Amino acid sequence: MSAPRRPADPPGLERYYVLTGGRSGPGGSAAGLDVATLVVSRPGPVPGPQHEHEEIVRRCREPLSVAELGAHLGLPFNILAVLLSDLLDAGRVEARDPVPAHVAGRGPDLALLEEVLSGLERL
């Protein structure tokens, strides 16, 4: 668990700039992405000029969280979110947000909690 630090690698900033085309935040479709959101590829041509777009599609044939993608690709969350928004807009990936225990207006999801509990008890 490290405290904030300044990047030791200034060229990283240039890489991010190129990757995102200078965009600083994700567009509408990716604005709600969470670190635990699962990303799954869908078939189709790969959009976006960046190798990283292809890499995301390849890695997400099986569902992978945004956090894992970030760790594997060495990209910070906000940069990854920009790339994911390209892929979401193009329909090349699907994003599935983590299931909350409590949905506003619907009350608590007891079945979900039971499922989590029995999964933990089997460990």
Partner 1 sequence: MDLKGFDRPGRHGGGDIRSVKVMIAGGFGTGKTTMVRSVSDIRPLTTEETLTQAGAGVDDLIGVADKSQTTVSLDFGKIGLSDSLVLYLFGTPGQERFWFLWNGLFKGALGAVVLVDTRRLASSFRAIEEMERQKVPFVVALNVFPDSKDYPVEEIRDALDIPAHIPVVSFDARDRASSRDVLVALVRHLRERSAVAVESR
With CB under 8 A as the contact rule, the residue among 37, 52, 57, 92 that binds partner 1 is 37
CB of 25 to partner 1, least distance (A): 8
The CA distance from 7 to 24, in Å, is: 17
* Residues 58 to 87 in contact with partner 1, rule: CB under 8 A: 61-63, 65-68, 70-72, 76-79
In degrees and rounded to multiples of 5, residue 121 shows phi and psi of -70, -20
Q: Which of helix, strand or coil describes residue 89? A: helix
SS (H, E, C) 14-68: HHHHHHHCCCCCCCHHHCCCCCCCEEEECCCCCCCCCHHHHHHHHHCCCCEEHHH
Q: 18, 21, 35, 49: which one contacts partner 1 (CB under 8 A)?
A: 35
In the range 89-118, which residues lie near partner 1 by CB under 8 A?
96-102, 107-110, 112-118
The binding site for partner 1 (CB under 8 A) comprises: 1-7, 13, 16, 24-25, 34-38, 40, 61-63, 65-68, 70-72, 76-79, 96-102, 107-110, 112-121, 123
